[in-house]
Amino acid sequence: MLDLKFIRDNLDAVKANIAARNMQADADLVARLYDERNTLLRELEQLRAQRNHNAKKMKAKPSDDERAGLIEEGKRLKSEIPERERRLEELEQSLYAEAEKIPNMAHPDAPVGDDDGANREIKQVGVLPDFTFPSQDHIAIGENLELLDFERATKVSGTKFYYLKNQAVLLEFGLIRYALDILARKGFRLMITPDIARESVVGGIGFNPRGPESNLYTLEDEGTCLVGTAEITLGGYYADEIVPVEELPILMAGVSHCFRREAGAAGQFSKGLYRVHQFTKVEMFVICTPEVSEQHHEQLREIEEEIFSGLEIPYRVVDTATGDLGAPAYRKYDLEAWMPGRGEHGGWGEITSASNCTDYQARRLGVRYKSESGNRHVHMLNGTAIAISRAIIALLENYQQADGSVRIPRSLVPYVGFEQIGPRNE
């Protein structure tokens, strides 16, 4: 959530940002409710001060006439104060409900556009494969090599679920350990996080826990959700705490399952492992002071690049357009891997993202640190180290061989124990 005073004092900029992000929010209403709240707070303070003054006079043994007047005044204050407090509670509920609809301000260099079609390519890394044989997509490769089973997963769990089998199981665990080793060397605290979070934490991070537009699974009558990313559980780790400034920056890496409804996701680019209801991910999360958050954002992107450069998978880096940012993000970089099975001639598919959310999430979650000028909200950043399902897509499709086998990149061989995946009958 943006600072309420900032919204009121920068209305034109806030409204322009809402429009650039292609979102619906009423900044004018927030500013009006904010002023009404402040006026009501001042009135309440005055009434409470009068009540205290009245009580002091009563203790000073007033005359009978004075005492009668003080009693009447006390009755009036006793009636007015609870009524104003009730009105304040209602007003603040409306204020925060409307304020939470307003997205974070976007970085001035973020490309302006309604969707990912306006993303700006920053660079490409690696050489695209030039197959001398008809290439296949990861679905055909995975089924031919007995690595994936979508049909039985649909029978058991429904569409957009899958079984990983045989070497694909080792591939998942190998990719997790490969990423964790890199992150451990860079000072990240390694964590396995809960797969369930309270709705208050989910909302604090900026996800919608309920309603038809929510992408999360809600556990009925529990007030909790299955997490869509460890960003939620890592971000909530320090909720309602004041973090000692000497502990900053805090670097955390969380392994979790991720559950997403993906309602309405369809089309050829959503087939197979690309959009599924459950997958495993290693997530990076940074808590730092505002002065260094942009520096940490660049570092998260560099780590993502190091991971996929080490796997020798061709990728490109894009600066995400305002309309595709998501409400909490100030700026977001995506890594898109080359996926030869994507479309008729191959294409780029998102494999990681790195977002600087500034103090937007910290305000909702109440995470602060002590500074010379008082308690300030921290900045929070997140980045995908590796999303296993999409990494497997890129590996199978880029490393496929003419005989139908799949070669394993050199950096991953020590983690999986084999150099190639061939047919099971070999």
Query: What is the architecture of the domain spanning 116-421?
Result: 2-Layer Sandwich (3.30)
From the candidates 8, 21, 37, 260, give the one annotated as an active-site residue: 260
Alpha-carbon distance of 304 to 188, in angstroms, equals 14
Contact 1, 30 (CB under 8 A): no
Sorted by where each begins, the domain ranges of the chain are: 4-99, 116-421
Residue 390 annotated in active site: yes
Contact 166, 146 (CB under 8 A): yes
pLDDT at 286: 98
Contact 161, 154 (CB under 8 A): yes
pLDDT at 72: 76
- ω before 249 within 30° of 0 (cis)? yes
Instruction: Give residue 188's region: left, alpha or beta (phi > 0; psi -120 to 50).
Output: beta
Residue 353 annotated in active site: yes
Alpha-carbon distance of 251 to 368, in angstroms, equals 16
Alpha-carbon distance of 402 to 135, in angstroms, equals 8
Nearest to 292 by CA among 379, 384, 185: 379
Nearest to 361 by CA among 244, 239, 253: 239
Alpha-carbon distance of 131 to 378, in angstroms, equals 49
Alpha-carbon distance of 399 to 389, in angstroms, equals 15
Contact 123, 109 (CB under 8 A): no
Decide if 4-99 and 116-421 have a common fold. no
Sorted by sequence, the CB contacts under 8 Å of residue 188 that are 6+ apart come out as: 251, 252, 253, 284
From the candidates 353, 363, 368, 389, give the one annotated as an active-site residue: 353
| pTM, full prediction | 0.92
Backbone angles phi, psi at 187, to 5 degrees: 90, 15
Question: What does the block give as tokens for 167?
Answer: 């070497």
How big is the chain, counted in residues?
A: 426
Alpha-carbon distance of 337 to 125, in angstroms, equals 9
**CA dist list (Å): 57 to 79, 80, 316:** 19, 19, 74
Backbone angles phi, psi at 139, to 5 degrees: -65, -50
- What residue type is assigned to position 101 of the chain? K
Residue 36 annotated in active site: no
Residue 363 annotated in active site: no
From the candidates 331, 368, 390, 397, give the one annotated as an active-site residue: 390
- What residue type is assigned to position 378 of the chain? V
CATH number of this structure's domain 4-99: 1.10.287.40
From the candidates 350, 355, 368, 397, give the one annotated as an active-site residue: 350
Residue 79 annotated in active site: no
Residue 108 DSSP symbol:
T
**CA dist list (Å): 302 to 91, 107, 251:** 45, 19, 15
First to last CA, the chain: 57
From the candidates 51, 275, 316, 407, give the one annotated as an active-site residue: 275
**What order of strands is seen across the sheet that includes strand 278-288?**
120-125, 315-319, 331-339, 347-356, 379-387, 278-288, 250-259, 189-192
Local mean pLDDT, 10-residue blocks, the chain (426 residues):
95 96 95 95 87 77 75 79 90 94 96 92 96 96 97 96 98 98 98 97 92 87 95 97 96 97 70 95 98 98 98 98 94 98 92 97 96 92 98 98 97 97 79
